[in-house]
Amino acid sequence: MSLNETTYDVFFSYSHEDTSEVEKLAKRVEEKTDYRVWLDKWVLPPGKYWQPAIAQALGTTKCCMIFIGKTTPSGWFNQEIQKALDRRAVDDDFRIMAVLLPGANEKTIDSYLGLRTWIDFRKGLTNDKALHDLICGIRGVPFGKGPELKKERTSKQMESIKRELIKIKKLLDEELIDEEIAKEYRRKLLDNFLHIEVAAR
């Protein structure tokens, strides 16, 4: 499939030393969303002149994610960054974000990119919060609280429910309430928890 036959949502720009890590993230994005990732390894046919295709992709995708790994960006990678910045200068809707890979040093980020929000995978490629941020960056929406905070909130709610269930059981054991009242209390607790969970999604 040629570049002209497909519309891509995001351009992944990276140093080829980081190919394996970036490809894993591209797969995760496409598995979790309906976004199409422009990754040179997936798109460019071998043996063909690739610079025009990359320039064309940078001119048509909605945003560009610039991946920073252990090594300082150099060569054509720097030219890709410059082309992305050139488009940003004339297109306010085009978004550029730096993505830090494991082992990355933020000091290697271009000074212009350094003024923007980072997406930080330095804790590992399986970091759910970083993947959430990456998808939000492609979508063009705020990061919000992210999945890790939601998990923490759910855990606290579960602990609260357990405490209430223990109280109900104690009241029941001491015959201070009957079985029907205990069932109703349990039902209300679970209904309230499920209502909060649905509203949070």
**C-alpha neighbours within 13 Å on the C-beta side of residue 196:** 14
**C-alpha neighbours within 13 Å on the C-beta side of residue 99:** 32
Give the tens place of pLDDT for each residue, 106-162: 777 776 577 677 899 999 999 999 999 999 999 988 888 666 445 545 566 677 778
Residue 110 token pair: 């271009």
Give the tens place of pLDDT for each residue, 70-99: 876 665 566 677 777 767 767 778 888 889
DSSP state string for 38-54: E-HHHHSPTTS--HHHH
User: What is the residue whose two structure tokens read 């054509």?
Assistant: 76
- For 6, counting Cβ atoms within 10 Å of its Cβ (0-12 exposed, 13-18 middle, 19+ buried), the class is exposed
pLDDT at residue 121, as a whole number: 96
**C-alpha neighbours within 13 Å on the C-beta side of residue 22:** 26
Look at residue 13 and give its three-state secondary structure: strand
Residue 137 token pair: 């960056």
pLDDT at residue 189, as a whole number: 75
